[in-house]
Amino acid sequence: MKDILSEIIAHKRKEIAAQKSSISHSRLESELTNCRLPIYSLKDALLQSDTGIIAEFKRRSPSKGWINQHADAEEVTKGYEIAGAAALSVLTDSTYFGGELADLQRAAKNVKIPVIRKEFILDEYQILQARLSGASAILLIAAALTVEEAHRFTRLARRLNLDVLLELHDEKEIEHVSPENTIVGINNRNLGTFVTDLEKSYRMIELLPKGVVAVSESG
């Protein structure tokens, strides 16, 4: 998976550059001044929910291939909300996960719970896109970011009133957690072997700062 992660990151950087050449960073910043899309607190939703479940909309994955190629983002995410999900996670990567930014937009317009943009975020540009598309939160993957990037992206997201779900895979990534990170996810899946070990969440939760809302991911 480390090789897959490197491949995804390299491809994502090219994708971001192409998007910037089409719609500039400054244009997105300008559009933000008139953005009135509602934001729902992910932290509050998780703490107040009866289920605590973040339901994910994903058409495919690098390891499993297509799961449901023609799944309708609006229909599926509404079903998740009705079934009691606390929040939604919507994949927006096209090449590896079969998603698109429009899936996020459709889901956010159709529900009244937080929607997370699940993406390999490597640039501030993508955080602006998330806000303009109706996301209430973003995912930051520690394995794809330096400590400085994780902290900087978190600060920007919070300035835009977006929550951040910071995803950790092992103990070495604890330093990615800044005082502004109030929601931290622990991914139980090994990035190299794809093996899921639920005990990882129990081990790592002891290392997190007090008061952080912990999310157990994968399995």
What CATH number is given to the structural domain containing 86? Answer: 3.20.20.70
Angle, helix 124-132 to helix 147-159, in steps of 10 degrees: 30
Task: Write the DSSP symbol of residue 140.
Answer: E
CA–centroid distance for 71 within its chain = 19
Please name the helix (run of DSSP H) or strand (run of DSSP E) that holds residue 155, with its range, or none: helix 147-159
Q: How, if at all, do strands 60-61 and 65-66 pair?
A: antiparallel
Closest by CA to 40, choosing from 74, 85, 75, 2, is 85
Helices (H), 42-143: 42-48, 73-83, 101-110, 124-132
The neighbouring-strand residues paired with 56 are: 89
Q: Supply the pLDDT for residue 171.
A: 94
Q: Supply the pLDDT for residue 4.
A: 85
Q: Supply the pLDDT for residue 100.
A: 97
Burial call 67-78: b when 16+ CB within 10 Å, e when fewer: eeeebebeebbb
Q: Supply the pLDDT for residue 2.
A: 53
Please answer whether residues 117 and 104 qualify as being in contact, where contact means their C-beta atoms are separated by less than 8 angstroms: yes
Please answer whether residues 56 and 118 qualify as being in contact, where contact means their C-beta atoms are separated by less than 8 angstroms: yes
What is the mean pLDDT of each successive set of 10 residues along the chain, which is 219 residues long? 81 98 97 96 97 97 91 98 98 97 98 98 98 98 97 98 97 97 94 83 95 94
Distance CA 188, CA 114 (A): 23
Q: How, if at all, do strands 65-66 and 87-91 pair?
A: unpaired
Q: Supply the pLDDT for residue 192.
A: 67
Q: Which amino acid makes up residue 105?
A: Q
Distance CA 166, CA 184 (A): 5
The neighbouring-strand residues paired with 165 are: 139, 183
How many structural domains compose the chain?
A: 1
Distance CA 124, CA 142 (A): 15
Q: Supply the pLDDT for residue 141.
A: 97
Q: Which residues are catalytic?
A: 56, 58, 118, 167, 187, 217-218
**Biggest CA-to-CA distance, the chain:** 45
Containing domain of residue 139, as a range?
2-217
Q: Supply the pLDDT for residue 119.
A: 98
